[in-house]
Amino acid sequence: MQTLIIIPTYNEIENLQRLIGEIFLILPETDILIVDDNSPDGTGELAERLGRKNHRIKLIRRAGKSGLGSAYIRGFKYALKNNYDFVFEMDADFSHPPAYLPDFLMHTSRYNLILGSRYIKGGGITNWGIWRRLLSYAANLYARIFLGLPYRDLTGGFKCYSREVLKNLRLDSIISEGYVFQIETTYRAHRQGYAIKEIPIVFKGRYKGESKISRKICLEAIWKVPLLRFLR
């Protein structure tokens, strides 16, 4: 079974090399795809150097910062073209501890999409202040109720898709860019009847570097969640 871990990056030079090292300690046989948006801090150059030394590290470089959603779509298309069986989404900032990777893989025989969940028993969040927690909680409640989904964590970005799900996501018609991308992909998989499993993760607030969350990303979630339901 061949796996690919997609890591979108924008200014993650302080995190990337150590993260990749930790991933390979846990899953030595996986491939990793960095999708870098021409980070001014040199993350793309670093990824290129690492890729020259290790053929399991792949890199797609885009011309400028164009958002998380389209970075993942590029990565998903790469995964389909290169015949990976299971594909992870993972942040570069150590919020998603690599130690959980085997927990996802334990469920791949029975489920098509596995979600790392902060809001089920055994899951949690460290290093986040009250406002960030409230924002995340509210966004999840909003999406869950509006879209009638049974999952507790819809905005998390630590996920594992089977090739089968990716093939049927209709990537070119996805409308979201920011956090709502995670909601949209899970919603589509759910509507298509795929088996989806939530597993607990303890999410760690960003290790180093700066946050890319913005008002624009939050506003996008507010108006696009109802739109997703309308468009279905």
Instruction: Write out the residues near ligand GTP by the rule CB under 6 A.
Output: 8-10, 12, 35-37, 65-68, 71, 91-93, 95, 206, 211-213
Contact 174, 184 (CB under 8 A): yes
The verdict on 136 binding Mg ion (CB under 5 A) reads no
Choose among Mg ion, ligand GTP, none what residue 67 binds, the Cβ cut-off being 5 to 8 Å by kind: ligand GTP
Contact 159, 115 (CB under 8 A): yes
Calpha distance 226→127 (Å, rounded): 31
Calpha distance 92→17 (Å, rounded): 10
Choose among Mg ion, ligand GTP, none what residue 2 binds, the Cβ cut-off being 5 to 8 Å by kind: none
Calpha distance 62→77 (Å, rounded): 14
Binding window for Mg ion (CB under 5 A); candidates: 121-129, 148-156, 177-185, 201-209: 201-209
Work out the angle at residue 177's Cα, subtended by the Cα atoms of residues 174 and 183, and round it to the nearest 5 degrees: 70
Please pick, from the candidates 58, 152, 163, 206, the single residue that binds Mg ion as defined by CB under 5 A: 206
Calpha distance 174→186 (Å, rounded): 12
The verdict on 155 binding Mg ion (CB under 5 A) reads no
Our CB check for ligand GTP shows the closer of 4 and 111 to be 4
Choose among Mg ion, ligand GTP, none what residue 100 binds, the Cβ cut-off being 5 to 8 Å by kind: none
- What is the nearest approach in angstroms of ligand GTP to the Cβ of residue 69? 9
Contact 38, 49 (CB under 8 A): no
Contact 74, 60 (CB under 8 A): yes
Choose among ligand GTP, Mg ion, none what residue 31 binds, the Cβ cut-off being 5 to 8 Å by kind: none
Question: Residues interacting with Mg ion, by CB under 5 A?
Answer: 91, 93, 95, 206
